[in-house]
Copies of this chain bind each other. A is one copy, B any other.
């Protein structure tokens, strides 16, 4: 019950936040910046407790790396807060304006969604970024971070609370039971953003009537056409795999056109193996290069490690069909010099990000120029791909009249003008 009451408090406070000017919201972000900057020692001490427990539990290096909250992470949080502050205010924007008739003006205006429930991994810097995006867009935010970051998250929450004074619009949940309570509150929460495994995203969808913006697995492919510039293909594939193998936008499957397979696979193998990447391939592939024998279900696997699948395809259509069957609709790329092929790939591949001749690792809110991201949506509704401030807004239709009634238009005594005003 207590959690439910606190969530209702967020809903109420979110209205105040939604009515604030961009300047007022920016001053909240400034206070968060000060709170972090002036409490570095305390935050780092609390983070050490989490790091100690994590090491005791034998948690993997990649998780530990994300869990660290040291001076350099605090600095980058502060830079990120400054960057978010500078972004254009996403609410109160008139995105369409139309005269329906003389003196009857329709405006479509952006507004905050209301209250967002966010479940994220054990990454304290992500918590700061999410809070800043929520406040900038005028939304109340309910956070549940990975339990490995328990002490750090609580400390961040504490120093922010002390600085913001009245700040019911930021709520930190700490238990799984809290998350289950949250999922039930469809009257008070407008959007759930679960970052984590497909399984967890599905769990949320199965247990709530609140819309869920799925940030799920990234099973990304690169198709190397027989019209590819192979001098570009190899560094792009290497970067897409090794630049950050645990990221959702790292590549998992390389589809190579049959016409170039026998000449190109040995080149690709050499480049990948130099970087320690293991190759899985079927019989066709292993007839050309040595590789780990693969099975069909490996195409549905997100390795998150220095491993990938290679598969030979007869045509771009076969590549597109493979992607349709196995992609998680995150990011897929074609390497080709033929614009017609690229256009076919763009229109036929049903993924949030469709790329040509560049690394899949560019699929990211900051790199896309959105300033920052709350996640990468693999759903098609509302927001797709990297989601920044715009994905945290909705709109209202504001219709300002001067006594107009529908009867006159139904009877034909008045006609709509439907004149676009912008």
Partner-B contacts on A (CB < 8 A): 15, 18-19, 98, 100, 104, 106, 109, 111, 113-114, 190-191, 202, 205-206, 209, 211, 229, 231-232, 235-236, 238-240, 243, 342, 346-348, 350-359, 361-363, 367-369, 379-382, 384-386, 394-407, 409-410, 416, 418
| Residue of B361, B381, B404 touching A394 (CB-CB under 8 A) | B381
Q: How far is the CB of A140 from chain B (nearest CB, A)?
A: 12
Q: Which residues of B lie under 8 Å from residue A352 when comparing CB positions? A: 396-397
Q: In the complex, are the beta carbons of A356 and B397 less than 8 A apart?
A: no
Q: In the complex, are the beta carbons of B346 and A404 less than 8 A apart?
A: no
Q: In the complex, are the beta carbons of B232 and A399 less than 8 A apart?
A: no
| Residue of B113, B353, B381 touching A399 (CB-CB under 8 A) | B353
Q: Which residues of B lie under 8 Å from residue A396 when comparing CB positions? A: 346, 351-354, 384-385
Known: A98-B368, A191-B381, A205-B209. 15 other contacts (CB 8 A): A100-B362, A104-B362, A113-B381, A243-B406, A346-B396, A352-B396, A354-B396, A355-B398, A356-B400, A359-B404, A361-B405, A369-B418, A381-B394, A384-B396, A385-B397
4 pairs of A and B residues whose beta carbons are closest in the complex = A358-B401, A239-B405, A361-B406, A232-B403
Among the interface residues A98, A231, A352, A369, which one has the most CB atoms of the partner chain B within 10 A?
A369
Q: Which residues of B lie under 8 Å from residue A380 when comparing CB positions? A: 113-114, 190-191, 394
What separation, in Å, do the CA atoms of A15 and B321 have in the docked complex? 11
Number of copies: 2
With known contacts A243-B410, A367-B100, A410-B243, A358–B399 Cβ distance under 8 A:
yes
With known contacts A367-B409, A368-B106, A369-B100, A384–B394 Cβ distance under 8 A:
yes
What separation, in Å, do the CA atoms of A305 and B114 have in the docked complex? 33
Q: How far is the CB of A51 from chain B (nearest CB, A)?
A: 24
Q: Which residues of B lie under 8 Å from residue A239 when comparing CB positions? A: 405-407
Q: Which residues of B lie under 8 Å from residue A401 when comparing CB positions? A: 355-359, 362
What separation, in Å, do the CA atoms of A410 and B362 have in the docked complex? 11
Shortest Cβ distance from A98 into B: residue: B369
Q: In the complex, are the beta carbons of B398 and A346 less than 8 A apart?
A: yes
Q: In the complex, are the beta carbons of B243 and A407 less than 8 A apart?
A: yes
Q: In the complex, are the beta carbons of B416 and A397 less than 8 A apart?
A: no
Q: In the complex, are the beta carbons of B358 and A404 less than 8 A apart?
A: yes
Q: Which residues of B lie under 8 Å from residue A398 when comparing CB positions? A: 346, 354-356
Q: How far is the CB of A7 from chain B (nearest CB, A)?
A: 16
